[in-house]
Amino acid sequence: MSLDDHLRSRLHARREAGLLRVLRPLEDVGPTVRHEGRDFLNFSSNDYLGLAAEPALRDALREATAAGAPASRLIVGHLKAHEEVEAALAALVARPASLLFSSGYAANVGTVPALVGPEDLILSDELNHASLIDGCRLSRAKVRIFPHADLEALERLLRDRPAAGRVLVVTDAVFSMDGDRAPLRALAELCQTHGAWLYVDEAHTVGVYGPAGAGLCAELGVEPDVLVGTLGKAFGVAGAFVAGSSALREWLLNVARSFVYSTAYPAALLPVLRAAIRQVRAADDRRAQLHAHATRLRTGLRALGFESPGDSPIVPWILGSNEAALTTSAKLADEGILGLAIRPPTVPVGTARLRLTPMATHTSSHLDQVLEAARRIER
């Protein structure tokens, strides 16, 4: 069989199972977007603060001295502007140092294997993001998955830890598909008690929680050994950073393969990131608006009898079957609302859902429209 025939038959099987993924070319970004000549309310982005379309960020592109710095950071791709942005990001999350990566995916698959190896143990929450799962696998450490946010199960695993080797506890801060928060204080205490290191992925929380958007760890007074923040979500740009001690930064720039063997973060985006950091720091009003919108959306869905767990700006609307999720998403689209279906393997089988995310720049009438549409949808 030719490769194409093989792939076509596999694609067909996916389509039959309601699992085919497709790309939708949009004409712009923001709280409303154009698609195929029609305007939609956008309730599916991670642009929580509405910064991606912020004119101050676009204008900052003009300060760029070059498009790229086409070499790895360790060769001739390292600019002073990289260091300035890294210092500003470290200051934002109140850690001593940080290192930029081209994406959150690259940060996690590079960082976890840089810290632990075959002699070591990783304890990983069952709902962690795919990039953490892949980072754990690449590390070749022994990985034990603990039930979601289950502190007792985690404590048992920590008690049973082998005497030799290091232990890394890995968790999302807010879980990307369930929208709930990790019990970070308790996790930090357990790690402290059992001599384990704590790795927190703040992809959905830096910019969204904490003083000046410093994140959930900062809000709770937790100092993880490793903090990952992404710059393509609340910051509206692209990339990610790993924050921690200056030893952590130095170690990662020596051994994290997705840093060492990859071209430097684009020069053109460094002034944009600087502007985004300023915007995030000053965005208390946007954060308050975002959280108010999320509460209203979640409370409204629950009042209609729908299941909407969590308590963050990620508002899941659990529908169960793939078909139910796709049908509901299509009904919303008919009403001019983008609320995309999330299906296995991104979420467990039988828990397909819409993942709705309000933005600070939505208006209260945008929220009315979504809840009105939900009311009209058959339960």
Q: Which active-site residues does the annotation give?
A: 176, 204, 233
Residues in the chain: 379
Distance CA 190, CA 185 (A): 9
In the complex, the residues that contact ligand PLP under the rule CB under 6 A are 103-105, 108, 129, 131, 172, 176, 201, 203-204, 230, 232, 240
Residues 272 and 149: their CA atoms lie apart, in Å, by 36
Taking the complex as a whole, the smallest distance from the CB of residue 378 to ligand PLP amounts, in Å, to 31
Smallest distance, Å, CB 256 to ligand PLP? 15
Q: Find the shortest distance in angstroms from Cβ 152 to ligand PLP.
A: 24
33 vs 133, beta carbon nearer ligand PLP: 133
What CA–CA distance (Å, rounded) separates 298 from 317? 9
Tell me the closest approach of the beta carbon of residue 77 to ligand PLP, in angstroms.
19
* Paired tokens of 104: 């959150």
Q: For residues 77 and 104, which CB has a smaller minimum distance to ligand PLP in the complex?
A: 104
Nearer residue to ligand PLP within complex by CB, 52 or 373: 52
Q: With b meaning 16 or more CB within 10 Å and e meaning fewer, what string describes 307-321?
A: ebbbebbbbbbbbee
As a whole number of angstroms, the distance between CA 50 and CA 360 comes to 6
* DSSP summary character for residue 11: H
Separation between Cα atoms, residue 299 and residue 306, nearest integer Å: 10
At its nearest, how many Å lie between ligand PLP and the CB of residue 237? 10
- Report the number of secondary-structure helices (H) and strands (E) in the chain: 14, 13
Distance CA 333, CA 222 (A): 41
CB of 51 to ligand PLP, least distance (A): 15
Distance in angstroms (rounded) separating the CA atoms of residues 260 and 80: 18
Q: Where are the alpha helices (DSSP H) in the chain?
A: 3-16, 55-60, 80-92, 104-115, 130-139, 151-159, 184-194, 216-220, 246-255, 257-260, 270-281, 284-303, 322-334, 364-376
State how far the Cα of 274 lies from the Cα of 132, in Å rounded to an integer: 27
Judged by CB, which is closer to ligand PLP: 171, or 351? 171
Shortest-Cβ-distance residue relative to ligand PLP = 104
- Establish whether the linkage from the previous residue to 211 is cis, with ω within 30° of 0: no
CB of 233 or CB of 366, closer to ligand PLP: 233
Nearer to ligand PLP, 230 or 328 (CB): 230
